[in-house]
Homo-oligomer: A and B are copies of this chain.
């Protein structure tokens, strides 16, 4: 069973209310050193078999059509679960 990891983050220029809320909460809990935060999504897709380039291409296609909204989000990574980021 192979696994593909897809990371989706809000575009840097887009306001990220969740990230803003996280910074506020971090500060209140004494983690003020983290002055910025953004919150995105991480998907793990399971695939029957090896994850090769063809699978990654398909996963990227899925990431771009369904798993992210290009108006506000970027697909920042598509990789096999074992690969480095």
Contacts and interface: CB of A to CB of B under 8 A. Distances in A.
Chain B CB within 10 Å, residue with most, of A37, A55, A58, A83: A37
A52 interface: no
Chain B CB within 10 Å, residue with most, of A4, A29, A85: A85
Interface of A: 4-5, 7-9, 22, 25-26, 29, 31, 33-48, 55, 58-59, 61-62, 65-67, 83-85
18 contacts: A5-B85, A8-B42, A22-B67, A29-B66, A31-B66, A33-B47, A33-B55, A33-B58, A34-B62, A35-B48, A37-B44, A38-B43, A38-B44, A39-B41, A39-B42, A40-B43, A41-B41, A85-B85
B9 A62 contact: no
User: Which 10 pairs of residues, A with B, have the shortest CB-CB distance?
Assistant: A84-B84, A36-B46, A34-B45, A42-B42, A40-B42, A31-B62, A38-B44, A85-B85, A37-B45, A7-B42
